[in-house]
């Protein structure tokens, strides 16, 4: 089963305020393992680079001025990803920007159902623990020493390793065929909406008849206002 691990870099946080995508990086996986195929593109945002954004990814206005605009690379990008599941850390952010850019050039938006958010998976799997990409690298012992600045392709490559650990680690023997991988990824997608189900079969009573009788005698002594009596 084919998957795409994807990351973007931007000029800021909100496309409605004029922020744009400046870099897209993507790594192709098959049965959760990298195939060696990647997509990488710098993009001219047609605006100045804010100081705060430059400090994050190091992409300057001057460097990006000679790069193609999003409209010129959009079709190649869509052709690369197709309808494949997109593995993204904090998917809402990247999907918001991708769909804004696609909308501005009259392309169809990408459905949110096409994305799988590793941030959500990590928070559910390790509740209360840090779930940033750097924190997950520390948890899984994944080297990110080359990550002095954010970079879309490098972050996608690192995320592909983190994702592999989140879905069970590097155990290719467990991935027997494409249908197994499809079922596993669909299960991960479904878990973004997971809620605990009611227990199908009540637990077996573990108190003895003697203990039960002693409890009922104690409750009776409390009178008619006792909580246990009211709930009956």
As annotated, the active-site residues are: 150
Burial of 176 (0-12, 13-18, 19+ CB in 10 A): exposed
The H or E element spanning position 30 is: strand 21-30
Burial of 183 (0-12, 13-18, 19+ CB in 10 A): exposed
Q: Is the dihedral of CA 127, 128, 132, 136 positive or negative?
A: negative
Q: How is residue 50 annotated by DSSP?
A: P
Residue 159: C-alpha distances to residues 37, 52, 94, 122 (Å)? 15, 23, 14, 12
């Amino acid at each position: 089963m084919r998957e795409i691990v994807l990351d973007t870099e931007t000029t800021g946080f909100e496309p409605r305020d004029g922020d744009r995508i400046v870099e897209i990086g993507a790594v192709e996986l098959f049965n959760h393992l990298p195939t060696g195929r990647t997509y990488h593109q710098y993009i001219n945002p047609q605006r100045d680079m804010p100081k705060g954004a430059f400090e994050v990814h190091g992409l300057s206005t001057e460097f990006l001025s000679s790069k193609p605009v999003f409209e010129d690379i959009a079709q190649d990008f869509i052709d690369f990803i197709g309808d494949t599941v997109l593995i993204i850390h904090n998917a809402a952010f990247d999907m918001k920007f991708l769909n804004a850019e696609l909308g501005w050039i009259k392309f169809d938006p990408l459905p949110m159902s096409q994305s799988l958010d590793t941030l959500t998976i990590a928070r559910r799997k390790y509740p209360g623990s840090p779930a940033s990409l750097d924190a997950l690298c520390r948890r899984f012992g994944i080297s990110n020493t080359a990550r002095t600045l954010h970079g879309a392709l490098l972050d996608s490559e690192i995320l592909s390793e983190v994702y592999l650990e989140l879905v069970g680690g590097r155990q290719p023997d467990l991935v027997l065929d494409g249908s197994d991988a499809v079922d596993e990824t669909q299960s991960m997608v479904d878990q973004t909406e997971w809620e605990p189900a009611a227990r199908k079969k009540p637990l077996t009573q573990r108190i003895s008849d003697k203990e039960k009788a002693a409890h009922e005698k104690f409750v009776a002594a409390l009178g008619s206002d006792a909580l246990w009596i009211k709930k009956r």
